[in-house]
Amino acid sequence: METIAENRSEGPDRRRPGQAPRMRAVPGQRLSRLPQLAGLDATLKRDIAVVSAVLPFKVNNYVIDELIDWSNIPDDPIFRMTFPHRDMLPSDDFEFIAKLMENQASREEMAAAVNEVRTKLNPHPGDQLSNNIPVEDDEPFHGLQHKYRETVLVFPAQGQTCHSYCGYCFRWAQFVGISELKQSVDGPERALQYLGAHREVSDVLITGGDSMIMSTDRLVPYIDPLLSPDMDHIRNIRFGTKALSYWPYRFTTDKDSDDLLRLFERCVQAGRHVAVMAHFSHAQELATDAVRDAIARIQSTGAVIRAQAPIIRFVNDWPEAWSDMWRTMVGMGVVPYYMFVERDTGARGYFEIPLARALEVYQTAVRTVSGLERTARGPVMSAAPGKVCIDGTATVGNEKVFVCRFLQARDPERVGKPFFARFDEHATWYDHLQPASFETRPWFATANSSSLHGS
């Protein structure tokens, strides 16, 4: 039987033999020597070298050759997202590392200094590492997260990296190897056992890092067993990925890309919904031939692409960045899903914006697009008790408040009920919020602690 993907081989995305791009990754320490940066002044290059000694960076040939507009440096949003900037480190830490580099400090001295600076950057934010991990036979089950009743996240070991890194990534500690907890599964067996035993679970999210960094051979044993009749409670199979932005050839010309599309088709034919949860930060990521081909090929399998991204300073912190992106993606059949607020870690101080500003950007962007393009919910914080959306501001009595709502919660009773936080123009995260004076539900910072932990 011919698959849909094969039928498309006469279409605009047909294989170009001999032209399949090969991925070349450029690690942080080599970024400052890229020929594209030759024209930049020496301090900028030094800044890149210093910051990339502390935080993880990795860029590849697609990002360099096709995504970044080199006539618009340093303002290009993709450059801002993937390249180091001096302000990503507190200035005294930056000077500390810069001085050691200048003095050609020994490897040991450098390593100790880098470690000291990293430790100050909150490498383990929130309780993502220690909570939400299922416990079976009194043993914590690392590599799965089961926070919300209907969805289980699976972190396969081979999917815990990305084709390129975002400067704001909350998994940065893992990328530099200082994560204390093993957060991935080595193989599918126990994960599948867990899913088989939990009939309340309807959604499986294969995630990372980037689930699409895995070879198709490695993915298949996680997915094919979900298609059997005894797993028919699993209705939705999601893949978390930024490959459409950082390496769209994963779906077009890589040597196992056809096999990947066939895997999606098998899921669809087995009656499962396949959701590619794509991380898109800016319309520029939707503008290359490669991403257009990749989107069309994924869609030809029956899979649906949904898009989500955090709102990030310098990258997409103005309304047109979102309205342009939503218009462009809906035109390509991609469904806007979430606008996130980024977590409190790493280079956050550089990228963060106040919740009040994120709300303003969201509301302004939504007003200018059609109903079909308004499907992203936001701004959303994935906080300890659940996913909190700021729906707007209001004045109740004499008090200005944020109107908040749980989209997901450990305690499903909380979902959908509006609650109120004191308006605070500087707050950047849920735990900065205080209940409004008339708010009686204890759904704030102090309520994040022990009794709500565990799934």
Ligand X SMILES: *Cc1c(COP(=O)(O)O)cnc(C)c1O
Give residues in contact with ligand SF4 (CB under 6 A). 162, 165-166, 169, 171, 209-210, 242, 279
Residue 145 touches which of ligand SF4, ligand X, none (CB < 5 to 8 A by kind)? ligand X
Nearer to ligand X, 202 or 393 (CB): 202
| Owner of token pair 């205080």 | 434
Tokens encoding 265: 């088709």
CA 174 to chain centre: 14
If you compute the radius of gyration of the chain from its CA atoms, what whole number of angstroms results? 22
- Residue 116 makes CB contacts below 8 A (sequence gap 6+) with none
For residue 295, the number of C-alpha atoms closer than 13 Å in the C-beta half-sphere is 26
| Site for ligand X contains 382 (CB under 6 A) | yes
Least distance (Å) between residue 169 CB and ligand SF4: 3
When asked if residue 153 is in the footprint of ligand X (CB under 6 A), the reply is yes
CA distance linking residue 189 with residue 209, whole number of Å = 20
| Closest CB to ligand X among residues 128, 428 | 128
Q: How far is the CB of 337 from ligand SF4 (least distance, A)?
A: 15
Footprint on residues 111-140 left by ligand X (CB under 6 A): 132
- Among left, alpha and beta (phi > 0; psi -120 to 50; other), residue 132 is left
Site mask for ligand X (CB under 6 A), range 399-428, x = bound: --------xx--------------------
Q: Does 368 bind ligand X (CB under 6 A)?
A: no
Sign of CA dihedral 72, 286, 274, 218: negative
> In terms of CB distance, is 164 or 382 closer to ligand X?
382
Q: Whole-number minimum distance, CB 166 to ligand SF4, in Å? A: 3
Q: Are strands 139-140 and 135-136 parallel, antiparallel or unpaired?
A: antiparallel
DSSP 51-75: HHHHS--EEEHHIIIII--GGGTTT
Distance CA 388, CA 386 (A): 6
Region near ligand X per CB under 6 A, out of 143-151, 191-199, 244-252, 297-305: 143-151
Nearer to ligand SF4, 310 or 435 (CB): 310
Q: Work out whether the CA dihedral 243, 52, 318, 349 comes out positive or negative.
A: positive
Pairing of strands 377-383, 386-396: antiparallel
Among 61, 122, 131, 151, binds ligand X (CB under 6 A): 151
How many residues line the site for ligand X (CB under 6 A)? 10
Instruction: Give Cα separations from 20 to 205, 270, 428 (angstroms).
Output: 29, 31, 43
Out of ligand X, ligand SF4, none, which partner does residue 414 contact, by CB within 5 to 8 A per kind? none
405 interacts with, out of ligand SF4, ligand X, none, CB within 5 to 8 A per kind: none
Residue 376 is a binding residue for ligand X (CB under 6 A): no
- Judged by the rule CB under 6 A, the positions of this chain that interact with ligand X are 132, 145, 147-148, 151, 153, 382, 387, 407-408
